[in-house]
Amino acid sequence: MTSGGPSAGRGRGASSRRRAKTLSVEILDVEGLEVTVTRKAVKNMYLRIKPPDGRVEITAPKRLSRASIARFVHSRREWIEATRRNVIESDSRSPLKQPWSDERKREAKRILNERISQMLLYWVPIVGKVPTNISLRRMSTRWGSCTPATGRIRINLELAFLPEAYLEYVLVHELTHLWERGHGEGFQRRMTSYLPEWKRLRRELNQMV
């Protein structure tokens, strides 16, 4: 996530994408949604929602058809719209850099306390670990963190204003660290058994930073 920091695999992928040369750029209209498509020598598609206006950008392989891109956008439309709303409403270059008032902090804590309480009822029996404490705070580089030795979990307040699926991913990620300290095979195996789509959620969440 940047919950616990980026994995080595993701770091290499991001680095290779930065090095890939731009081959072409075009604007596609997908069901009334303007999508900027940048074609590069990459193997996969990458979707980003860019502040401050919620611009939709896709990096796509050179030979991928427009129809395939349109189908991908259609399949992710609900997430795109939810993320665009959050980006636009934040009126900020990044969800992690928006000015916070005391009122906003109180509202974020209220939302998170309510959601986390419900999620723990479901996930603690599945994961088989109970955190000793969950604290809510603003964090500039992480969505969450965990200290396995003490059982303490920290959750970024920003998650209160993002779709609940991301909070759930971060919470399960940190609960899993109560079993597995690092992000190795054991951690990944557990995460896949708990949340089969956890890698997609991680990727989408980190694209908002």
For 73-106, write each residue's pLDDT tens digit: 999 999 999 988 887 765 444 555 557 888 889 9
Q: Assess whether 121 and 153 both reside in one domain.
A: yes
Q: Assess whether 120 and 180 both reside in one domain.
A: yes
Q: Assess whether 64 and 19 both reside in one domain.
A: yes
Final residue in a domain of this structure, among 90, 125, 159:
90
Q: Assess whether 58 and 119 both reside in one domain.
A: no
If one counts the domains in the chain, the total is: 2
Q: Where is 34: in which H helix or E strand?
A: strand 33-40
Final residue in a domain of this structure, among 66, 90, 114:
90
Percent of the chain residues past pLDDT 70, beyond the cut = 85
Judge whether 115 and 164 are in contact, CB under 8 Å: yes
* Structure token pair of residue 133: 């404490």
User: Any idea what the CATH number is for the domain that residue 168 is in?
Assistant: 3.30.2010.10
Q: What is the pTM of this model?
A: 0.57
Look at residue 2 in the predicted model and tell me its pLDDT.
Answer: 39
Q: Say how far apart CA 56 and CA 147 lie, in whole Å.
A: 36
In a domain, 86, yes or no: yes
In a domain, 1, yes or no: no
- Beta-carbon contacts of 43 under 8 Å, excluding residues fewer than 6 positions away, are 61
Final residue in a domain of this structure, among 63, 90, 117:
90
Count of CA atoms in the C-beta half-sphere (13 A) of 63: 1
For 132-165, write each residue's pLDDT tens digit: 999 999 887 789 999 999 999 999 999 998 889 9
Range of the domain at 158: 102-206
Judge whether 129 and 80 are in contact, CB under 8 Å: no
Look at residue 21 in the predicted model and tell me its pLDDT.
Answer: 84
Q: Assess whether 132 and 178 both reside in one domain.
A: yes
In a domain, 3, yes or no: no
CA distances to 117, 168, 179 from 114, rounded to whole Å, are: 5, 13, 25
- Beta-carbon contacts of 166 under 8 Å, excluding residues fewer than 6 positions away, are 143, 159, 201, 204, 205
Look at residue 140 in the predicted model and tell me its pLDDT.
Answer: 78
Judge whether 201 and 10 are in contact, CB under 8 Å: no
In a domain, 71, yes or no: yes
Q: Assess whether 114 and 149 both reside in one domain.
A: yes
Query: Which of the 8 DSSP states describes residue 52?
Result: T
For 5-48, write each residue's pLDDT tens digit: 323 333 334 433 345 788 899 999 999 999 999 999 988 999 99
